[in-house]
Each structure stands twice: as C-alpha cells, then as structure tokens.
Chain A
Amino acid sequence: MKPVLLQVENLKTYITTHRGVVRAVDGVSFEIFEEETLGLVGESGCGKSMTALSILKLYPKPQGKIVEGKIVFEGEDLVRKDEEEMLKIRGKRISMIFQEPMTSLDPVFPVGEGIVEVLMLHQGLSRSEAQREAVRLLRMVRIPEPERRVHQYPHQLSGGMRQRVMIAQALACRPKLLIADEPTTALDVTVQAQILELIRTLKKETKTAVLLITHDLGVVAEYCERVAVMYAGKIVEKADVLSLFARPLHPYTRALLGALPRLDGKRSRLEAIPGSVPDLIAPPSGCRFHPRCRERLPRCSEEEPRLWEVEKGHEVACHRL
C-alpha cells in the first residue's frame, strides 16, 4: 500500500451569500494515496467542486472561508498556509484542471505561452528552455504537430485539444496530485474517453495521483481505484471501486446506481430519486438524505450518522448499518 499523499480531515468550507451562509463542505474527510485515482461522485451542488477548490484555496474570496478542518499534504497542513505559500504549491505540487476547456484558457495568449509561464515560474527555466519543454509536453498529450500548435490561439483548437493543453499545463511541473474537476463533461462522448485514457496513461509516467470529480458513475467504474460519494456537503460512502459497485451500502449510492441503465439484459425501470437536492443554507436535520430515503428510520431525522468502517476499506454513514 502506498503512503498517504493527501489527508482531508473534517473539512468545512462555508460561503457567505446575501441569502445566508451556504455550508458547501460540511465535515468532509478522505484520503488520497500516492499515485492512485480517487473518484469524488455526487449530483450537481453536492459540494464536490468546492471541496476541490478548498484544497488549493481557490474558492471565491472573501465570501468563502475554510472554517474548520485540516488538509494535510505531504506532512503540511494547507489550511494554515497563507496565500504566498499556496502560490508555491499551485501548479507545482498540486495542479487542477477544470470543466470548460472552451473558456478556461486565456484567449489572448498562444496556448504554448500558458505552459511556458508555468515552467518559467515554478521551474526557473529560461524562455527558450521552457518553449522547448512546452512543445515536448504538447507531444506528450498527443497533440499532432506540436511545433505548429504551440503558437496557435485557443479559438483555433478543438475542445478536446484545448483540454489536452490544460492537462499539459497542469502536468508540466510533475505535480504529485492532479485535481480534475469534471474534465470531460463538456466534451463529446468519444473525446471524453480519449481524455480520460490520456490522464490514466500520463499519471503513470509522471507518478501523479488524481482526484477525479464527476457525476458520472460510469467514468468512476472505469477509471478510478477508490471512490467517495458525496451528498449535500458530506461524504456518505467511501470504498474501493469493486466493493462499491458490488455491494453499495448507502441508500443514496444504491439509488444512484439504480438510476443507471444496465447492459446485462435485465430490463428494469430506471429509478429516479424522489425529491430534490437540499438547500445547503438550511440542510435537513440528522442525516441529510433522510427526506428522500426509502429506508429511513425515525432516528435518521434526529441524529447525524458518522462514517464508520463496515468492512475493510469500505466506510458508510448510515444508521441502518
């Protein structure tokens, strides 16, 4: 078993809006081991993106704030670090790529320039060295004719190619952790597979761990080693991929899986989860899923369940177990 790279302990990130305080991340704990891919799954609005942003402290300021918790990365607590120290971590030891390749690259600079920037900033390379390395990186992400492409502008590239550029930028300094926030949601299905496959191949080369955030369980099944399921700002189940799909324990996880069409011939109705995503300003009492849960007990609306290990490597937060 590889050592722990990132340990998130009881992270709470709250955002102050004029309607109230949004408890986007409300007591989240998980760990990422070196060189593994951890999937973070959940519906829109469950707080998974905000968790990712919290790691690098990229949440909107001054509305957002980490009010509690620890994020221990290679022995250091990131929560205690100030902005100047975080600058040395972002892009260098932990990188992040985002969902919309269309708008995530600066339109007025050639795509190579973005990579050169990172290399010159974090690795102290000279401009010519950085330019050569940029071309090499574009080749690594399988962009054809990288010497030509490196001078082109984002609008001259397709969505898939832009995402590859983002990946090149993110991996340029060989970070230990890559956070990928729904990197393929905005892409065509065929391109999606290519990009995810690319990430999988590259991370082995650069020995990077990946935190893959997605709402697509199919992606999780194919590309992740471990999974954490989030709901309404909390983690409700955490396991390795095989265990989760074989024996989903939390009612929410089971509902999510039930909403997936099956390829094995068994025809059953796709089950929608009744109700809607809870308001994170005033979340439900006790277990946050209880209003929508078919199997709820009276206890579920009073007391919040804690994550505990049901079997080896498989944790769940539910009163039924």
Chain B
Amino acid sequence: MVRYVLRRLLFTIPVLFGISLVVFLVVRLAPGDPAKVMAGEHASPEFIEAVRVRWGLDRPLYVQYGIWLSRALRGDLGLSIATKAPVLQEVLGRFPATLELSLVAMMFATVFGMAAGILSAVRQYSLFDYLAMVGALIGISVPVFWLGLMLMLFFGLYLDLLPISGRLDPGITLRTITGLYLLDALLTRNGKAFVNALAHLVLPGVALGTIPMALIARMTRSAMLEVIRQDFIRTERAKGLPERLVIYRHALRNALIPIVTVIGMEFGLLLGGAILTETIFAWPGLGRYTVDAVYARDYPAIQGAVLFIACVFVIVNLVTDILYAYINPRIRYR
C-alpha cells in the first residue's frame, strides 16, 4: 500500500508539470500580441517595446516558460492585467467560495445519488427503479446552466423563496476565518449568517449537484447489481444473515470500491460545472473569475486560475486513488 501511494505521488509530479506546460503554451499561443495587451490600447510603440522587454516577452518560448514556471513555483503567478493585483492572491481569495459550493453540491449528489442507486438496485424492475433511472437519464442530459436558470426562475423569482445571487444578503455581517461561510458562521456562533449563507447555497448547490447525482445514481445501481450477482452474496444468505445486512454490510461495501472512483471523477465535472453555475448565480468564486479573465483577455489571470483549478483536480484524483487503494483489500494487502 505504501509503495502504491508513493508510486501515485511520483506519477502526479510529471502530470503537474505537464499541466503547467499546457496552460502556459495554450495561452501564449493566442493570436495577438501580449505585450500590446498589457501595455494598453493607446500605448506608443516604444512603450510596447519596453513592456515586451520588461516582461521578457522577447525571449524564446522555452525561456519564457522556464521563467514563468520558476516564478509560479515560488507562488508568483504574476499580476492581473485588469486589476493589477497579484493573481495568486486573487485566486486564493476566490477559491473558498468555489470550494464551499462544490462541497455542498458533492454532498447533495452523493447522498441522494447513492440512496437512489441502492434502492433501485434492491428493487430492480420496480416502479421506483424505473422512475429513478428515467430521472437519472434526464439528469445527465440537462445542461447545468439551463437547470440553474430554471431553478432561479421558479424558486427565486416566481415563488420568491430562495435568494438567487451572491453568498450572503447585503445586510448580514460575518467574520470570515476560513472563507467557507457555513463553517465560519458555526465557528463565530452567528446563527443568522448561517441560515442566510445556507439559503444562498441551496439553488446553486442543487443546480450544480444534479448532474453528478444522476451519474452517481446510475453507477451505484449498476455496481450494486453487479455485486449482488456474486457468489459470496449467496454464501452470506446461506449463513442466515437477514437481507438488510447482506445488502448494506456486504454488497454495499463491495460496491463502494468502484463507486468511490466515480465520485472522484465527478469532482472534475463539478469544477467545470461550477464555472457555469457561478456565472448564473453571481457567485464570487474561481469559476467566474476565470470566465471574466477570458473575456478581458487577462492572460496572467487566465493562466493562474486554470493552473490552480487543474492542480486541485489532480490532487482530488490522487486522494481518490489513495482512498480506493485503502478500501480495496486486494491492493491494500498486496
């Protein structure tokens, strides 16, 4: 197990470098002159040239990459063209918002998705199974931004039940420690802020979590069905174990192994979907920051944000793999 973990860690490092290379190249290959963009619309040719030299844009590409990478490793992701603030600072400032939204969406997706999947598998071919699977199919076909808009329309505007933008109402104050408002509200015993933050998380969370929930439901169902067919389930029944134990202690525990992998993969979907959801719900997170940066052609910001998100994704996958190795005895005990 230790060897497996080390191997995976070692493997992650070239991937991270590869990501940085891709991020750097893709943005640099954009048409247009980055120096001109940075210098501004009405800059003189001499000023543009000065900017070019100042930022090393006249050096060969691989040198530029080297400089950029060494700076990035030290935490210097450059300055945003739009705000002139350090990109790393801006990214870190916005990350907790995305993290909180993603976690809430993930919990929603996992809890309801797995529950639906297990019940569908246990009651295969029943009405519940049929409805759940039809629902799941619709769930994976729905565009996340449209779902967000529809939820916003119905619950926010039509019923006026839940807030549709931002993380807190303007009147609420909250002392932030972690940047995760629910956690902060608990830590500072601020009940009003907690409820308010929760209300703001509902619509975007449900919108973001619906597609992963549908996928998890489908995967859970098929994994459970697969496991229930196995010989050892028959052995457990022959031992006189009540069906409840057979399903929840034995079948589920085995099905969890492939399900964990899927949940890890879902997180990537979630991060992508967060980009769209944040745009709709005016959520001040990293996704929206990235999109705004693309509109503004703010290349350092784009590079920094994309690099950060991709790295988070890689780390999540690494954790998932390690978790998988832990819960699968065949890998854990050689």
Q: Do chains A and B interact in one complex? A: yes
With both beta carbons as reference points, the residue of chain A lying nearest to B125 in the complex is identified as A62
Partner of A106, one of B242, B250, B257: B250
Stretch of B201-209, B230-238, B278-286 that contacts chain A = B230-238
A152 and B240 alpha carbons, distance in the complex (Å): 23
Could you tell me which residues of chain A, from 101 to 115, have a CB within 8 Å of some CB in chain B?
Answer: 103-109, 114
Partner of A98, one of B231, B242, B329, B330: B231
Chain A CB within 8 A of B25 CB? no
Given contacts A153-B329, A156-B333, contact A58 B237 (CB under 8 A): yes
Chain B residues contacting A88 (CB-CB under 8 Å) are: 240
A87 and B240 alpha carbons, distance in the complex (Å): 4
Chain A residues contacting B238 (CB-CB under 8 Å) are: 56, 58, 90-91, 95-96, 98
A118 contacts B240, C-beta separation under 8 Å: yes
Chain B CB within 8 A of A100 CB? yes
Given contacts A153-B329, A153-B330, A155-B330, contact A106 B240 (CB under 8 A): no
User: A137-159 toward B: CB 8 Å interface, digit per residue (1/0)?
Assistant: 00000000000000011011000
Given contacts A108-B329, A155-B329, contact A166 B235 (CB under 8 A): yes
B253 contacts A108, C-beta separation under 8 Å: yes
Chain B residues contacting A164 (CB-CB under 8 Å) are: none
A32 and B264 alpha carbons, distance in the complex (Å): 54
A105 and B234 alpha carbons, distance in the complex (Å): 9
Chain B CB within 8 A of A176 CB? no
User: A105-139 toward B: CB 8 Å interface, digit per residue (1/0)?
Assistant: 11111000010011001100000000000000000
A104 and B257 alpha carbons, distance in the complex (Å): 18
Chain A CB within 8 A of B241 CB? yes
A96 and B232 alpha carbons, distance in the complex (Å): 12
A103 contacts B241, C-beta separation under 8 Å: no
Nearest-neighbour CB distance to chain A for B184, whole angstroms, equals 38
Chain A CB within 8 A of B15 CB? no
Nearest-neighbour CB distance to chain A for B89, whole angstroms, equals 45
Could you tell me which residues of chain B, from 241 to 283, have a CB within 8 Å of some CB in chain A?
Answer: 241-243, 250, 253-254, 257
A104 contacts B232, C-beta separation under 8 Å: yes
Could you tell me which residues of chain B, from 210 to 236, have a CB within 8 Å of some CB in chain A?
Answer: 230-232, 234-236
Chain A residues contacting B230 (CB-CB under 8 Å) are: 103
Chain A CB within 8 A of B54 CB? no
Chain A residues contacting B328 (CB-CB under 8 Å) are: 108
Given contacts A153-B330, A155-B329, A156-B333, contact A98 B240 (CB under 8 A): no
Chain A residues contacting B236 (CB-CB under 8 Å) are: 106
Chain A CB within 8 A of B153 CB? no
Could you tell me which residues of chain A, from 69 to 109, have a CB within 8 Å of some CB in chain B?
Answer: 83, 86-92, 95-96, 98, 100, 103-109
A169 contacts B239, C-beta separation under 8 Å: yes
Nearest-neighbour CB distance to chain B for A109, whole angstroms, equals 8
The CB with the most chain B CB atoms within 10 A, among A100, A104, A122, is that of A104
Nearest-neighbour CB distance to chain B for A119, whole angstroms, equals 10
Nearest-neighbour CB distance to chain A for B127, whole angstroms, equals 16
A118 and B235 alpha carbons, distance in the complex (Å): 11
Chain A CB within 8 A of B85 CB? no
Chain A CB within 8 A of B63 CB? no
A152 and B242 alpha carbons, distance in the complex (Å): 25
A83 and B243 alpha carbons, distance in the complex (Å): 10
With both beta carbons as reference points, the residue of chain B lying nearest to A86 in the complex is identified as B240
Chain A residues contacting B241 (CB-CB under 8 Å) are: 87, 91, 117, 121
Chain A CB within 8 A of B327 CB? yes
Given contacts A107-B330, A153-B333, A156-B333, contact A92 B240 (CB under 8 A): yes
With both beta carbons as reference points, the residue of chain A lying nearest to B235 in the complex is identified as A104
Nearest-neighbour CB distance to chain A for B223, whole angstroms, equals 13
A288 and B239 alpha carbons, distance in the complex (Å): 35
A296 and B239 alpha carbons, distance in the complex (Å): 45
Given contacts A107-B330, A108-B254, A153-B329, contact A121 B240 (CB under 8 A): yes
Chain A residues contacting B235 (CB-CB under 8 Å) are: 98, 104-106, 166, 169
Chain A residues contacting B240 (CB-CB under 8 Å) are: 86-92, 118, 121-122
With both beta carbons as reference points, the residue of chain A lying nearest to B328 in the complex is identified as A108
With both beta carbons as reference points, the residue of chain A lying nearest to B243 in the complex is identified as A83
Nearest-neighbour CB distance to chain A for B206, whole angstroms, equals 33
Partner of B239, one of A100, A103, A117, A156: A117
A156 and B333 alpha carbons, distance in the complex (Å): 8
What are the 3 closest A-B residue pairs judged by CB atoms, nearest first?
A90-B240, A91-B240, A91-B239
Q: Give me 22 A-to-B residue pairs in the complex whose CB atoms sit less than 8 angstroms apart, sorted by A's number.
A: A58-B234, A83-B243, A89-B240, A91-B240, A103-B230, A103-B231, A104-B232, A104-B234, A105-B232, A106-B232, A106-B250, A106-B253, A107-B232, A107-B330, A108-B328, A108-B329, A114-B239, A118-B240, A121-B239, A121-B240, A153-B329, A153-B330
- Interface residues of chain A, those whose CB is within 8 Å of chain B, are 56, 58, 83, 86-92, 95-96, 98, 100, 103-109, 114, 117-118, 121-122, 152-153, 155-156, 166, 169
